[in-house]
């Protein structure tokens, strides 16, 4: 999709269950956002008209039926939503499928018939589902033929719960050029990249001098199980392969030199007029109670003590005002995502900036549509509160 254009989408449901299509991080009206309120049944279609105002960015879409998001995404109802900005050329590799590769990383388990094995019971009720196999774009440990030059990887953590700590097996440097909010102001040199579920980042790796394969790997999930909170710390520090890049001299490299600056969109935040506090709760007797409640279909989570009700409006925000949201978690780490957070402020947009993540994990100037909220006492980055400026 291109910024400034209108995309008309017709989504058909060929499954046996209700579905939606949520355009994750796209700045679109609520009735076009594809939330649980617009779920439609088998054999039905849903038309959406999206006026694309986001800057160039790697977004994604997925089904968003209440209580079914995890299982439906696990089984494949998700994909990339790439936005280009013709008015702001970035000078980065852009030959799609050659030196500009979408890379969705997911972990999946399979049953004896080779079908996805989705089991949300037991400990998965608490810490989420983690698969035994790592897949990239639906393939297990694939090999991508790429040119000997600069190669751009648009990486999406499409897993339900696993956190990835990406690097290359030879510990080479690479450049991060975008977060899930869009391009950075300048490339940032890194050796590792941490992505939590639903997070995106774009990196560029220089393969101009390579004649052998280069492996993208990840360290083990540092959120399993619960990082020394209720379950005890994990002592396994192994690594695993994600995908392999095969430099090929017969493929033409479109870019051989990294730009020093990028056309990032500056976001201006006013002084907050109010602060709101949100607590992510686990209910009914803590961990074991949540397992029992989840096994019988009950809600195990809430925000400020209230479970989700799509017919209720819990908070009302005034257009054009800036707020600070302070989010905490009382028992476990969890992402906090706000719909419609990216886009120009003069179009009734709520824009989110996570100061805690910028100072600890993300490059300066990186914007996101969510934050990773850590539970006090076993937080991976040492903070028990995150701040959103809205």
pLDDT tens track for 203-212: 999 999 999 9
Domain hosting residue 182, numbered range: 100-248
Tokens at 126, concatenated: 């608490």
pLDDT tens track for 102-144: 999 999 999 999 999 998 887 777 778 899 999 999 999 999 9
224 in the same domain as 351? no
pLDDT tens track for 84-109: 999 999 999 999 999 999 999 999 99
The predicted structure's pLDDT at residue 77: 96
221 in the same domain as 283? no
Euclidean distance between CA atoms 242 and 262, whole angstroms: 28
213 in the same domain as 160? yes
148 in the same domain as 25? no
37, pLDDT greater than 60: yes
Picking from 29, 129, 26, 141, the residue whose alpha carbon sits closest to that of residue 72 is 129
Q: Give the number of domains in the chain.
A: 3
Euclidean distance between CA atoms 75 and 73, whole angstroms: 5
Instruction: Report the CATH number that the domain containing residue 30 is assigned in CATH.
Output: 2.60.40.420
Domain end marker among 197, 230, 248: 248
293 in the same domain as 210? no
70, pLDDT greater than 70: yes
pLDDT tens track for 327-367: 888 766 777 888 876 433 222 233 333 333 333 345 655 77
240 in the same domain as 110? yes
Q: How many CA atoms lie within 13 A of 374 on its CB side?
A: 20
Domain end marker among 248, 263, 290: 248
Of the pLDDT bands very low, low, confident and very high (cuts 50, 70, 90), residue 292 is very low
Is position 267 within any domain? no
Is position 46 within any domain? yes
Is position 262 within any domain? no
209 in the same domain as 338? no
312 in the same domain as 235? no
Domain end marker among 54, 83, 112: 83
The predicted structure's pLDDT at residue 336: 82
Euclidean distance between CA atoms 176 and 222, whole angstroms: 21
Is position 254 within any domain? no
pTM, two decimal places: 0.85
234 in the same domain as 356? no
Euclidean distance between CA atoms 25 and 49, whole angstroms: 15
Residues 129, 132, 136, 137, CA torsion sign: negative
């Amino acid at each position: 999709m291109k910024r400034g254009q209108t995309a008309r989408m017709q989504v058909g449901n060929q499954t046996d269950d209700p579905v939606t299509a949520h355009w994750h991080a796209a700045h679109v009206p609520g009735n076009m956002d594809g939330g649980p309120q617009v779920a439609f049944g088998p054999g039905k279609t849903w038309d959406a008209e999206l006026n694309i105002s986001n800057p160039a960015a790697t977004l994604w879409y997925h089904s968003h039926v209440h209580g079914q998001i995890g299982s439906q995404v696990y089984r494949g109802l998700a994909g990339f939503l790439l936005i280009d900005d013709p008015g702001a050329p970035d000078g980065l590799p852009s030959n799609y499928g050659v030196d500009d590769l979408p890379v969705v990383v997911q972990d999946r388990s399979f049953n004896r018939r080779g079908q996805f094995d989705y089991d949300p019971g037991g400990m998965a009720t608490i810490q989420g589902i983690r698969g035994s196999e790592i897949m990239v774009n639906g393939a297990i440990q694939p090999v991508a033929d790429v040119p000997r030059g600069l190669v751009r990887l648009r990486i999406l953590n499409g897993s339900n719960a696993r956190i990835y700590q990406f690097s290359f097996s030879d510990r080479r440097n690479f450049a991060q050029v975008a977060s899930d909010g869009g391009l950075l102001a300048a490339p940032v040199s890194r050796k590792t990249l941490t992505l939590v579920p639903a997070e995106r980042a774009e990196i560029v790796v220089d393969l101009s001098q390579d004649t052998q394969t280069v492996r993208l790997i990840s360290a083990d999930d540092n959120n399993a199980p619960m990082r020394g909170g209720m379950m005890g710390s994990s002592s396994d520090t192994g690594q695993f392969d994600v995908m392999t890049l095969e430099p090929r001299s017969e493929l033409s490299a479109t870019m051989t030199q990294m730009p020093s600056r990028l056309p990032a969109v500056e976001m201006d935040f006013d002084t907050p007029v109010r602060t709101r506090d949100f607590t992510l709760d686990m209910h009914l007797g803590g961990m074991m109670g949540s397992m029992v409640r989840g096994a019988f279909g009950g809600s195990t989570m809430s925000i400020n003590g209230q479970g989700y009700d799509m017919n209720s409006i819990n908070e009302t925000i005034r257009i054009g005002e800036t707020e600070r949201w302070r989010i905490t978690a009382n028992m476990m780490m969890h992402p906090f995502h706000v719909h419609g957070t990216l886009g120009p402020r003069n179009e009734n947009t709520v824009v989110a900036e996570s100061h805690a993540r910028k100072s600890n994990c993300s490059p300066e100037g990186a914007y996101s549509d969510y934050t990773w909220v850590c539970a006090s006492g076993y937080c991976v980055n040492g903070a028990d509160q995150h701040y959103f400026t809205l």
